[in-house]
Amino acid sequence: MAVGLSTLPRLFPVPGIRLATTSAGIRKRNRKDLVIIECATNTRVAGVFTNNKLRAAPVVLAHRHLAGHSPRACIINTGFANAATGQKGLEDALACCQALAEQMHCQTEEILPFSTGVIGERLPVDRIINAIPDCLAKLDADGWKDAAHGIMTTDTVAKAFSVKTSINGKGLTITGIVKGSGMIRPDMATMLAFVATDAKLSAEVITSALQEVTRTSFNRITVDGDTSTNDACLLFATGQGELVIENDSEDSYQLFVKELGKVFLDLAQAIIRDAEGITKFITIRVTNGLSESDCLEVAYTVAHSPLVKTAFFASDPNWGRILAAVGRAPVKDIDIDSVSVYLDDVCIARSGAVADDYSEAAGKNVMSRDEITIRIDLGTGQSQATVWTSDLSHDYVTINAEYRT
């Protein structure tokens, strides 16, 4: 059950973007499983993709197409990931692009394919192609909500966020959707995400902005330490709004990145809030390290510890597990005698041992909450980093044990 998520917020249309969703029967009958995102001519698009060496066929093709052409549309299917499918998988993804391109009267290379679902299975290409006309007929600027549902796999809720504001008197709209619930570990983005803005951005600005906000949002989440074969995150800039940013030295650039960061952070945290089997949303904040990379190593070591994660599922303030994880983090200059660990505002460990003023009752009180912050003070420097994760429950095991049944 998702933690802290309910209905979708208001999603503002982005001029120059239309979306449509339909049921193609890709893996299951009568579920939304095919999405098309159309972008207006001259829309600038930037993307980041998985670093997993087993790149899915659509990732390979989307990366190739994006490098040489200005996209006109994305075609996204759920049910099957089209990963580990070899040359046939590339041919299947290309066939879907060709079919959509023919009906949109554009080049095949102007279509970007994306897939999510079971690894190792071929796409039902005929079913996808047959559903394209119905999908195109539904294209609508207000199609964000349906699209958020249409890209889901093991997600229990749709995930989207939107802002409408102004920068230096110029109007700005940013709207995005994301899917992801399991196989979540940042090595780019670890999910499928599609975010659009009506700002007019140069190639330099859209690339640097995407990389900057991804680094502190999608690259700071983890459920289970597994990096997907299909990770992709696209940022569309249609240029149909009032805001124009030509270079990252402009004052408006940082203000834009701040607003874009709000959308990315909300989407990233929504993935963790809907993590497979989640009962607790956990923030791990590591402070006073020698470097940000040191802080991240400590945070991820704690976040990936099965012993820590199961203790949180049990609402057990087992401080020794957290401190042990800190101690084995691959960081050269950790001095355990300088480390303090807090659960929310309760200090549970200090100087390599239980804190003198700690009580089990205080620890249990914090652990009973469904949103908890672990703060780890390394006491060696001035750097910090934050990671978001979930607990490890019986349901997580069940979901993944029964994933193909």
Instruction: Fill in the amino acid letter for 177.
Output: I
Annotation says 190 is catalytic: yes
Q: Could you say which of 78, 154, 175, 190 is catalytic?
A: 190
Torsion of CA 275, 276, 277, 279, to 10 degrees: 0
Instruction: Fill in the amino acid letter for 334.
Output: I
Q: How far apart are CA 208 and CA 217, in angstroms?
A: 14
- DSSP secondary structure string for all residues of 204-257: HHHHHHHHHHHHTTGGGB-SSSPPPSS-EEEEEE---SS-EE--TTSHHHHHHH
Strand 73-80 relative to strand 111-118, pairing: parallel
Cβ atoms 261, 87 nearer than 8 A? no
Chain center to CA of 200: 24
Cβ atoms 159, 144 nearer than 8 A? no
Q: How far apart are CA 205 and CA 253, in angstroms?
A: 8
How many angstroms separate the first and last alpha carbons of the chain? Answer: 21
Q: How far apart are CA 89 and CA 292, in angstroms?
A: 39
| Nearest CA-CA partner of 369 in 288, 289, 282, 294 | 282
The 3-state secondary structure of 178-218 reads: EECCCCCCCCCCCCEEEEEECCEECHHHHHHHHHHHHHCCH
Q: How far apart are CA 94 and CA 364, in angstroms?
A: 54
Cβ atoms 117, 81 nearer than 8 A? yes
Strand 346-350 relative to strand 353-354, pairing: antiparallel
SS3 378: coil
Name the residues annotated as catalytic: 190
